[in-house]
Amino acid sequence: MTDKFVVGPSPHVLGPKTVKSVMWEVVIALAPVSIAGILLFGLDALLVLVTATVTAMILEALVLHRNLKPASILGDGSAAVSGLILGLILPPSTPLWMVVIAAAVGILLGKHAFGGLGNNIFNPALVARAFVFMSWPVAMTTWHGPLSLSDWTTRVSVDVASSASPLGGAQHGLMEMFLGQTAGSIGETSALAILLGAIFLIVRGHIDWRAPLGYVGSAAVVAAIYSFLGGDFALTTIAWQLMAGGLLFAAVFMITDMVTSPVTKTGRLLFGIGCGLITMVIRLYLSAPEGVTYGILFMNAMVPLIDRYTVPKVFGEVKSR
Amino acid sequence: MFGKELIRGIYTENPVFRLLFGLCPALAVTTAADTGLGMGLATTTVLLGSNLVVSLLKNVIPPAVRIPSFIVIIATFVTLVGMTMEAFFYPMFEALGIFIPLIVVNCLILGRAEAFASKNTLGRSLVDAIVMGIGFTISLGLLGAVREILGSGSILGFQLVPGTVDMALVFALPPGAFISLGLMLAALNYIAIRRKEA
Amino acid sequence: MKAALRMIFVLGLIAAVAGGALAGVNAWTAPIIEENTATRLQETLASVLDADEFELQEDTEQTLWHGYRNGELMGYVVRLRVGSYSPAGIDTLVGLDTEGNVQGVFIFGHSETPGLGDKIEEKWFLEQFIGLGIGDDIARGVDVDGITGATVSANAVMTAVRNSVRFVGEYAGLIDEPGIINLADVPDGTYTGTARGFIDNIVVEVTIEDGKLVSVVVIEENETASYAGPVYDQLPQAMVDEQKIDVDIVSGSTGTSQGLINAVKDALAQFATGDIEIDQLAGGIYRGEALGYDGKIVVEAEIVDGQLVAVTVLEHNDTPGIGGVAFETMIERLLAAQTLDVDAVSGATHSSQGLLDALKDAFRGAPRIEISRMEDGTYFGEAESFGGLLKLKAVVADGQLVSVEVLDHSDTPSYANPAFEEMIEDLLAAQTLDVDLVSGATISSQGLLDALKAALGSAPRLDLSQVPDGTYTGRADSFGGELELEVTVADGVITDITVVSHSDTPDYANPAFEELAETVVDEQDIYVDAVSGATISSRGWLSALEEALRQAVTD
């Protein structure tokens, strides 16, 4: 790269923001959910997160640099982010060999088969989850409940009974769901931790509010209409739909992915709305337990189209007749 | 001579992996090696029949109505094959389902009729049908085998890994067809590029 | 021109040859295909029922085959499609022997999620239904296991098997709808009954004396002791204490509890009074439960004057959108039809059937009377007591029982009167009918309670004693149109009733009106039976009379 001229449109400003700095700050934003996940689900969760992240980083180093030097493994941090996000959207009881396969599918098929960072159409972590979800549906829908404080004080890894996730029919109070004390994927249960990460990312200017708002908003509207038609309309039903499954996590960490979401501001809003609508339709009407994955993957494919139709008007341009 | 033609059908002009013909059945019925092979053989039979008749009638059919004529000929053979399979190979007929009548719209067959049989002698047309059919059958069988091994750990119904091992079910499902075909195309293209460079 | 003709000719020729070839091959393969299809169907049917000849029955509600071996009826095969996770549902084939026991289950077709829902095809899952039959719950956790990760699909198959068993049971006349068992109607004696518990059959001996259940003894069982023990300790005692069979089950031991209850019902089944007729039910609130699409449905139904006036679903687990709407529609149908024989809501058959089953369960039990929910007004009731009929009047105001007055009785006054006083005092203080009987006068006290139950189970009625003297006019719709009458009250007594105008057929109506007026003046009761042959006119007349007197009270 360095021996070539880089030609790009103006303005040519060299800022402190680089791919590397952004990626490592996203890792910081993911810290609260990771910690919450480990606290809630124990050693199993830690192992899944570490395995996913390390596998992704090693594979990225092998693909890009064909060696395993520390600098290659650390890279630009994008593999670490994808790997960590992937770990966070898997059930804590996922067998580690499945996690390795998932990370490999995400990095190799989801990312580098399309040409690497910046060229991948689909979110690598979601490609990986879709793949393992379809391959081992039983393992991917076996959840276990969160640990209680006493589990922690007695021993770290405990045999936990499997239990239903909220979308699988378990009954939970809204407060439990807000704190994340429900069965679910490692990083997806605690709304509180997700919001902490979201605040950090927004304050640091790494994510645009439009896509998350469009996503959560459209999901809320669909939930409202559905519950109204079902004759049991209540604000708690809507809050429940928003906090169940991976919707909030996706809103903050997945549909804001810079590579696989639209560039334009209007486009991001539309993208978010589309993701929300498809997610809810899948959740409510299709025979799949969760719609977040396919909802976002489907809209990922629409991104070039959205970008094309939402190009902002050039300053001073007049509408041609 | 035939050997060279055979290589053309299986590798250099492989209908699925090189010409990207007949992808609909290639993706839809290759959940296992046997259905892939069955589909390949059924298609080969139709191809043989249509190439034979089209080549025989190439001077009789007026160019303006050649496509309708070809379609009628192909549809006839497809229906014949369908009825015969239902009567004598029912399990395969059931496994292939709607994709047997859909052989009519397999562009491999119309493609060979239009591009080859209508311009070549009877003998050459038959050889073309046979080598293309073999190429198609091998491709579908290969794709089916890859998906069967990865998806259920067996080949032609013979269990390779213990049934207790969870294989990647995705390969037995439609998305697995796209992933497998894509990876196989990539591998073949990689080999072809390396050869050209060498 | 020539070219066009040639085109037509060539294309026509190709089509003709193609048609000929197709016809030929079709003639050759068609019989083979037909035979193969028939053989395959026979083989599939034989996989669920041990028989070699199957005969499709016509005009049955569900697709049904009779299975024969050597000309002897071996059983039935039912094909059902049940709703499930996927919109297309699951197509099942259930084979049953002539006793209605499941012989085999086959999944004909489904489009459940691969890897999850398609586990319903697994052998262990389908084989666990074999042997279950009429009288079994066929429910997850009771007598069959579900599938982890495929709860909905597995439940759908259970529903299919349950419904197949029920269908065959009804079709082959194997199920006698267990009617209401009224303990008072059972002659004295000891009866034996059998029903399937969680593991095996439970056999009980039930003893009845003087129309009362005095003992329930389990004489044969094979249940797990740790689960069944509490059931045997608690349920028979509860049945004797509460004098009813449908007592609360012991949680954690549903299978055994239900088995014991069913065994007692089986013992007394011969005395059941048949179908539930709503107009024969005592007034009050009935509560019952049954299995719905997914879990228990608990309902409450209110009966007033032999009319079903309200049905409330207290608890259910069925799909909110589908179940909820289905319940509403079903309740509307029930209230309109006043019978339990109504059609299920399409698309929500299981929820609908569950609701009906819960209502049947409710009506088999005794009603509860909640004074706080009673409408204000004066209630009249009568019941058999020690010496004969006891009549009373009860007044409810603001959800409180404010007075109970015995109007007429034939019991020994020296015993009965103090007992009545004490009972009434207790009743007014407790504001519930659940009060202790007065010792030494239990039968009179019970008579009073029964009469009060009857009173509060009916609609409030006009209290003639509150009508001031005077002449009042009332109108109501009758057979031919509006009917107007005048009623005269003097010294708290109805002295005269005259029809002012009516448009009914005079030949029928006039004699009826005269007869009614005579009866009402004689009995000083405005709630008398209609005159047969002029029912509608009678009702019009009675409504007009009530309307006239009601005005008098409110004015």
Q: C406-424: per-residue pLDDT in tens? A: 888 888 777 788 888 888 8
Quick check: C7 and B64 CB within 8 A?
A: yes
Q: Which chains pack against B, by 3+ Cβ pairs within 8 A?
A: A, C
Kindly indicate the confidence band of residue A231, based on its pLDDT and cuts at 50, 70 and 90. low
Of C15, C30, C114, the CB nearest to B169: C114
In the block, residue with structure tokens 């091992």:
B165
Q: Which two tokens stand for residue A164?
A: 């239903």
User: How far is B157 from A101, CA to CA, in rounded Å?
Assistant: 25
From the centroid of its chain, how far is CA B144? Answer: 11
The H or E element spanning position C69 is strand C63-69
CA distances from C199 to B155, C72, C233, C348, C527 (A): 43, 31, 18, 31, 55
Residue A161's pLDDT is 46
Residue type, A242: L
Looking at domain C278-364, does it have CATH number 3.90.1010.20?
Answer: yes
Selection from A81, A64, A82 nearest residue A73 by Cα:
A64
How far is the alpha carbon of A228 from chain C, nearest alpha carbon, in Å? 9
Name the CA radius of gyration of chain B, rounded.
18
From the centroid of its chain, how far is CA C179? Answer: 10
User: How far is C538 from C543, CA to CA, in rounded Å?
Assistant: 9
Of C117, C151, C324, the CB nearest to A231: C324
User: How far is B31 from B39, CA to CA, in rounded Å?
Assistant: 11
Residue A160's pLDDT is 44
User: How far is A74 from A53, CA to CA, in rounded Å?
Assistant: 11
Q: Give a three-class secondary structure readout of A11-27.
A: CCCCCCCCHHHHHHHHH
Q: Which chains pack against C, by 3+ Cβ pairs within 8 A?
A: A, B
* Domain ranges, ordered by start, for chain B: 2-197
Quick check: B170 and A113 CB within 8 A?
A: no
CA distances from B86 to A61, B90, B104, B105, C481 (A): 54, 5, 17, 20, 72
From the centroid of its chain, how far is CA C201? Answer: 26
Per-residue pLDDT reduced to its tens digit, A107-117: 999 999 998 88
Q: Which SS3 state, helix, strand or coil, does residue B90 take?
A: helix
**Is A321's pLDDT higher than 60?**
no
From the centroid of its chain, how far is CA C313? Answer: 14
Find the length of chain A: 321
Cβ neighbours, 10 Å, residue B52: 17
Residue B81's pLDDT is 94
Residue A3's pLDDT is 56
Residue B130's pLDDT is 94
**Is B133's pLDDT higher than 90?**
yes
Return the CATH architecture of domain C371-456.
Alpha-Beta Complex (3.90)
**Chain B residues touching A142 at Cβ < 8 A:** none
Q: Are A209 and A142 in contact (CB under 8 A)?
A: no
Decide if A136 touches B, using CB distance below 8 A: yes
Residue A148's pLDDT is 63
Per the rule left: phi > 0, alpha: psi between -120 and 50, beta: everything else, C379 is beta
CA distances from C139 to A165, B152, C174, C215 (A): 23, 32, 20, 30
| Residue of chain B with shortest Cα separation from A98 | B168
Q: Are B40 and B68 in contact (CB under 8 A)?
A: no
| Residue of chain C with shortest Cα separation from B50 | C18
Return the axis-axis angle of helices C254-268 and C225-242, rounded to nearest 10°: 40
Cβ neighbours, 10 Å, residue A89: 26
Tell which of A98, A163, A225, A287 to mutate to test the C interface (max C CBs under 10 Å): A287
Q: Are C286 and C300 in contact (CB under 8 A)?
A: yes
Q: Are C475 and C484 in contact (CB under 8 A)?
A: yes
Q: What is the mean pLDDT of chain A?
A: 84
Selection from B30, B42, B32, B16 nearest residue B104 by Cα:
B42
How far is the alpha carbon of C284 from chain A, nearest alpha carbon, in Å? 29
Could you tell me the fold of the domain covering C183-268? Sufe protein. Chain: A (3.90.1010)
Could you tell me the fold of the domain covering C467-554? Sufe protein. Chain: A (3.90.1010)
User: How far is C71 from C218, CA to CA, in rounded Å?
Assistant: 42
Residue A59's pLDDT is 95
Beta bridge partner(s), residue C488: C471, C496
Residues of A with CB under 8 A from a CB of C: 134, 136-138, 141-142, 162, 169, 226, 229-232, 287-288
Per-residue pLDDT reduced to its tens digit, A153-204: 444 433 444 555 666 555 566 777 788 888 888 998 889 999 999 999 999 8
Enumerate the H helices of C128-216 as residue ranges.
151-171
User: How far is C94 from C129, CA to CA, in rounded Å?
Assistant: 10
Q: How many CA atoms lie within 13 A of A86 on its CB side?
A: 41
Of A109, A130, A134, the CB nearest to B169: A134
Q: How wide is the angle at C-alpha A52 spanned by C-alphas A46 and A55, nearest 5°?
A: 130
In the block, residue with structure tokens 């021993």:
A155
DSSP A123: -
Q: What is the mean pLDDT of chain B?
A: 90
Of A138, A230, A288, the CB nearest to C324: A230
Ranges of chain C with pLDDT below 70:
85-87, 114-115, 149, 175-182, 184-185, 252, 254, 269-276, 292-294, 318-324, 346-348, 365, 554-555
| Topology alike, domains C183-268 and C467-554 | yes
Residue C58's pLDDT is 79
Q: Is C144 exposed, middle or buried (0-12, 13-18, 19+ CB in 10 A)?
A: buried
| Residue of chain A with shortest Cα separation from B170 | A135
* Domain ranges, ordered by start, for chain A: 19-307
Contacts of A128 (CB under 8 A, 6+ apart): A86, A102, A103, A105, A106, A110
**Chain A residues touching B173 at Cβ < 8 A:** 134
Share above pLDDT 70 across residues of chain C, in percent, rounded to a whole number: 91
Number of A:B CB contacts under 8 A?
A: 24
Give A19-307's CATH code, choosing from 1.10.1060, 1.10.3720, 1.10.3430, 2.60.40: 1.10.3430
